[in-house]
Amino acid sequence: MRVVFILLTVVTLFSASLFAQPKERISTERPVPAALVIPEADLATPVTLSHYLSAHTTSRKEFVRQLYSWLVWSIGYDVANMYSPNYYKDTLDAAQKTLKTRIGVCQGYANLYYLVCKEARIPVHLISGYTKTYGRIDNASHAWVAVQIDNTWYMTDPTWGAGVVNNNKFIRKPVDSYFLVAPSAFVATHMPFDPLWQLLEHPYRHDEFSGNDLKAAAERAVFNYKDSLIAYETMNDDLRKYQLVINRIEGYGVTNQLISHELGYYKSLVKYIAENRQIVAANRAIDDFNRSSNQYNRAVNMFNEYVHFKNNQFKPSKPDKEIREMVDAIGRKLAESRKGLAGLNRNEVVIRGNISELEESLSTMEKRLGEEQAFVDKYIKTGKMLRKSLF
């Protein structure tokens, strides 16, 4: 029996984007107070940092306060890699590199903040989008976080809170302007690609953000972001989750290349997930077919053993009950094989021919087994003195 195997390919896709560096902005706010003096040993990973903050703070608000303070006072902007989208491979890699080198782009700041809060079980989400400085759209994407404190969602951007980049040099200027900001105020400068992450009942379209028109949204119907957020957090079907992200992004307008790039990323992600699911389904069908095929092959081996025994005129002799069991056991294996085939997805092209071949073989074997079952019935009913004449 022919057996088919397919290699399952799992594709992991990361969005590669340039990162928006903080620019000079006017702020009269006083710098945040110095953070806790955290031992180096506790700065080894996001997990150790989170555990230290949990042990040395008394509330979630104090936890994120100290975390933000440490980030803006201790992490510099990675100017050298702000145009190297592939330098930071994923969320953990960006956070680890930022901790180790004490520099990072927005991914490093935001991912570190995200992982430290997540380890402490503080509700937090990474947000990707783009920004506006002095009323003009910046030319690169950006990352920040949404964090929930006392059942209220706030926006935090430790990258912009740490300082600015002027003439390709980072200048540390810690401010509180970007710590625990209400979403309604934060959207003046930070636009998520997915409107869900505005966390507003009247989210703005991308053209309204770029056109500095933050009034038109109030005239539209309420967007129940709370229910959408719960659905996003609890949805187990990644394909559907990301398709909804695509629908929301497209629904609020694709007005610049940054949005188009993010949209393309999610469309590619959906495509790869769908393709991998097809491969998984095909592999599952192949596994199910192989089980049926193995049952059939086992039945053939048992049948051959029976035929050899019969050719020897059932010698060495066995009780009638055991002879009956020999053919009945073959029948059970064939029935198991047939049952497995009945449950197979016949739309899987890779095994359609195999199924037909196995069904034909089963039918032939079932017919032969029926003949042998009839022979055994006759053999058992025949007197022992006359049985030899049956062979």
Residue 88, domain member (yes or no): yes
* Same domain, residue pair 264 and 311: no
Residue 158, domain member (yes or no): yes
* Same domain, residue pair 314 and 219: no
Report pLDDT for 146: 98
Q: Which of 133-142, 248-257, 291-300, 369-378 has the lowest mean pLDDT?
A: 133-142
Helix (H, G, I), strand (E, B) or coil at 314: coil
Q: Is the per-residue pLDDT at 3 higher than 50?
A: no
* Same domain, residue pair 269 and 298: no
| Overall domain count for the chain | 2
Going by C-beta distance under 8 Å and a sequence separation of 6 or more, which residues neighbour residue 367? none
Domain end position, chosen among 230, 248, 277: 277
Report pLDDT for 5: 37
Give the C-alpha separation, 125 to 102, whole Å: 22
Domain end position, chosen among 222, 252, 277: 277
Q: Which of 84-98, 102-116, 249-263, 301-315 has the lowest mean pLDDT?
A: 84-98
Give the C-alpha separation, 91 to 79, whole Å: 19
* Same domain, residue pair 69 and 142: yes
How far is C-alpha 205 from the chain's CA centre?
28
Eight-class DSSP state of 195: G
Residue 31, domain member (yes or no): no
Residue 30, domain member (yes or no): no
Q: Higher confidence at residue 112 or residue 13?
A: 112
Q: Higher confidence at residue 218 or residue 248?
A: 248
Q: What is the mean pLDDT of the chain?
A: 88
Domain end position, chosen among 277, 302, 328: 277
Q: Which domain holds residue 58?
A: 40-277
* Same domain, residue pair 117 and 206: yes
Residue 385, domain member (yes or no): yes
List C-alpha distances in Å: 353 to 74, 122, 279, 342, 361.
Answer: 64, 54, 18, 15, 12
Do residues 111 and 139 make contact, with C-beta atoms less than 8 angstroms apart? no
